[in-house]
């Protein structure tokens, strides 16, 4: 019986029509099998590219960091014992070198490096309220025997200006001097370069500060009327360095500005959520790592990150900023010396990781200031 047209069409659709039909139908399954391989290859290339990019970014940031001192090797065993093992104490210096790019940042070439800013940052065990103790650069101290920058032995000396230790003997001798005067063992050393500091402030778009009196300092180039100001990098650098025309014109008035700015900088980072934005964070990290010189134990991005995680319980909003209690020197009124018994009480509290007594927070030589 002859098939109907509908039945014939159904048979042609259900069964391959000879070799030509098999050749026509064959490529489709092969294309389907090929897609998972193509997708996997593309995904693999993407992963490798991302890993390569991430590694390149890491290497770039890591190479920005300079290692300046091996505390264990250069200071030896003649160091204070660590009383509160879980607490951390870091010596932070601001480098006042006018070499290279620093020459144009207010004051010109002064011929050599100075430790313009010195702070002992105490991070208590378990985080919490950190304490920052600023050491006036004009403080007369006893410098222990060290190796000078020229490699020659530098004998111990009394009544030397604190900031001269850095220029004569470098960071290791500064750490040694601070440990001798305080009895506090420094776990780490961090040095901040002025040019990098300026770039960091510009990267985050400036920092807001408030002053209660005018600042008119031709030496630093800073001119601010009383009130609130948004400072760019150059202005911020002048702000933390200015001292002429404020307070008594000494380093004591400047310390208040430095501490105020540090608090404002931390607040700005939190306000912009810079640590929560990968793009902003990278830009900030790039600027920040360029300005750092650290001890060998902190001399890598990994080490810095691990240290950051270990102190994440510190609340910047509760940070206590103090100045080492000092009095004007009786022989040279342009210099200061540690005031006793306040200074000893302050260092004892830091060593023992205990609250600083109120009596140790007040300095006979205050210097005045303009912070609000």
Which sign does the torsion angle of CA 195, 261, 369, 372 carry? Answer: positive
- Out of 89-93, 109-113, 256-260, 362-366, the most confident range is 89-93
Rounded mean pLDDT of the chain? 80
Token digits of residue 306:
């691990």
Greater confidence, 336 or 249?
336
CB 200 within 8 A of CB 166: no
**pLDDT value, residue 181:** 97
| Angle between helices 27-64 and 278-290 in degrees, nearest 10 | 30
Greater confidence, 337 or 304?
337
Greater confidence, 359 or 65?
359
**pLDDT value, residue 94:** 85
Model confidence at 271, in pLDDT bands (50, 70, 90)?
Answer: confident
- pTM (2 decimals)? 0.78
**pLDDT value, residue 2:** 46
Per-residue pLDDT tens digits for 116-175: 789 999 999 887 788 999 999 999 999 999 988 888 899 999 999 999 999 999 999 999
Give 149's contacts (C-beta < 8 A, 6+ positions apart).
167, 168, 169, 170
Phi, psi (rounded to 5 degrees) for 79: -135, 160
CB 337 within 8 A of CB 227: no
Residue with tokens 């207010």: 106
**pLDDT value, residue 45:** 58
Torsion on CA atoms 350, 268, 204, 105, rounded to nearest 10: -60
Dist. CA 107–CA 224, nearest whole Å: 18
Per-residue pLDDT tens digits for 196-205: 788 889 989 9
């Amino acid at each position: 019986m002859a098939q109907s047209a509908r039945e014939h069409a159904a048979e042609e659709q259900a069964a391959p029509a000879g070799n030509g039909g098999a050749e026509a139908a064959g490529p489709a399954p092969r294309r389907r099998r090929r897609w998972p391989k193509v997708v996997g290859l593309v995904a693999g290339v993407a992963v490798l590219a991302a890993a390569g990019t991430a590694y390149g970014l890491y290497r770039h940031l890591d190479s920005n960091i300079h290692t300046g001192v091996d505390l264990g090797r250069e200071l030896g065993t003649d160091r204070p014992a660590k009383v509160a093992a879980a607490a951390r104490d870091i010596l932070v210096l601001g480098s006042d070198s006018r070499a290279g790019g620093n020459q144009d940042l207010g004051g010109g070439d002064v011929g050599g490096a100075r430790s313009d800013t010195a702070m002992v940052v105490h991070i208590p065990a378990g985080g919490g309220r950190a304490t920052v103790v600023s050491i006036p650069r004009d403080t007369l101290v006893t410098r222990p025997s060290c190796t000078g920058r020229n490699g020659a032995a530098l004998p111990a000396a009394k009544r030397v200006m604190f900031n001269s230790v850095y220029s004569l003997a470098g960071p290791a001798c500064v750490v040694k001097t601070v440990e001798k005067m305080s009895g506090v063992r420094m776990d780490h050393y961090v040095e901040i370069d002025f040019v990098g500091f300026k770039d960091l402030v510009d990267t985050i778009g400036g920092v807001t500060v408030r002053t209660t009196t005018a600042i008119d300092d031709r030496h630093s180039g800073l001119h601010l009327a009383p009130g609130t100001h948004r400072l760019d990098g150059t202005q911020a650098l002048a702000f933390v360095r200015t001292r002429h025309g404020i307070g008594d014109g000494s380093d004591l008035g400047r310390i208040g500005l430095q501490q105020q700015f540090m608090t404002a900088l931390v607040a700005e980072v939190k306000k912009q959520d810079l640590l929560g934005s990968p793009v902003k964070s990278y830009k900030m990290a790039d600027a920040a790592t360029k300005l750092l010189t650290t001890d060998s134990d902190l001399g890598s991005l990994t080490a810095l990150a691990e240290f950051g995680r270990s102190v994440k319980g510190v609340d910047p909003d509760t940070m206590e900023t103090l100045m080492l209690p000092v009095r004007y020197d009786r022989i040279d009124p342009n210099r200061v010396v540690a005031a006793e018994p306040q200074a000893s009480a302050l260092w004892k509290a830091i060593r023992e990781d205990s609250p600083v007594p109120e009596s140790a927070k007040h300095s006979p030589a205050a210097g005045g200031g303009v912070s609000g």
